[in-house]
Structure 1
Amino acid sequence: MFRPEEVPPEILNGLRSICRQMPEAYEEPAWIGVRWRIRRRTFAHVYLPDVDRHPVYASYVSAEQEPVVMTFRVPVYDLLGLTAGGFPFFRADWGHNVVAAVLGDHTDWTELAELITDSYREMAPKFLAARVALLPPTS
């Protein structure tokens, strides 16, 4: 079973500081990793993938650390633009609008906050989505 402490604390804490700003959002353990939800809909999910079971992650393994991956939703019209450039983004193999991002020292936290905000807006009821302002940058 996954333990949240397996995700590097700087990544988990960074995600928590972004996700807790979303109206009525909550954090919970998932089957693997930690996810943030609005009502019963997941808008962000962070985990350490099993590279042996899912070889798509193998190219992101380094000698120092296993990959840390976050999945989130994007508006369908943004999918290709976000994933066409490759690393750190790629299309998840499930869902029509799900993107995976490999997180680490290279992560642009301002961009990630915007992507999480958009994901929340995709999944939240309209009246809650309308309450979300663009989040200030986090570090």
Structure 2
Amino acid sequence: MLARLRPICLGLPETYEEPAWVGIRWRVRKRTFAHVLTAGPDHQMAATDEPVCVMTFRSPGDEIEGLLSSGHPFYRPGWGDDVIGMVLDGGVDWEEVGELLTESYCLLAPKRLAAQVERPLG
């Protein structure tokens, strides 16, 4: 999963990757716009009996309910009003992941940096 996420995240202006308390996160300035980790039954990330790779990211308020109402792979991680979780499994739509991470970045990046990003129409 990291091999697929790195080019998306590090392709955005002035981003960097670093270890988080668990997993890996990508940041712009000192703001985390994506975090990926392996969550097991002992984590309150996604309801699962097996370890699963999950990603959290930011989403605009008007999109949150739409993502959550679609069900799997999206879930509410339980912190932050604008934070969404996504299970990264064999059915991942990488184009959608790219769009979601770009949007997350643009929500947290300074306006000057966000203006440099080409966003998909839609």
TM-score category of the 2 structures, normalised to the smaller one = over 0.9
Q: How far apart, CA to CA, are the structure 2 residues paired with 1:116 and 1:43?
A: 7
Query: What's the RMSD between the two structures over aligned residues?
Result: 1.4
- 1:25 aligns to what? 15
**2:40–2:52 Cα contact (<8 Å) kept:** no
Residue 76, structure 1, aligned to residue 76, structure 2: no
TM-score, normalising length from structure 1?
0.82
Q: Percent identity, aligned pairs only?
A: 48
Aligned residues: 120
**1:60–1:102 Cα contact (<8 Å) kept:** no
**2:34–2:56 Cα contact (<8 Å) kept:** yes
SS in structure 2 opposite 1:59? Answer: coil
Q: How far apart, CA to CA, are the structure 2 residues paired with 1:133 and 1:18?
A: 13
Match of 1:86 among 71, 78, 97: 71
TM-score, normalising length from structure 2?
0.92
1:89-128 to 2 correspondences below 5 Å: 89-128=74-113
Q: How far apart, CA to CA, are the structure 2 residues paired with 1:31 and 1:93?
A: 17
- Structure 1: any 5+ residue segments left out of the alignment? 1-10
**2:64–2:82 Cα contact (<8 Å) kept:** yes
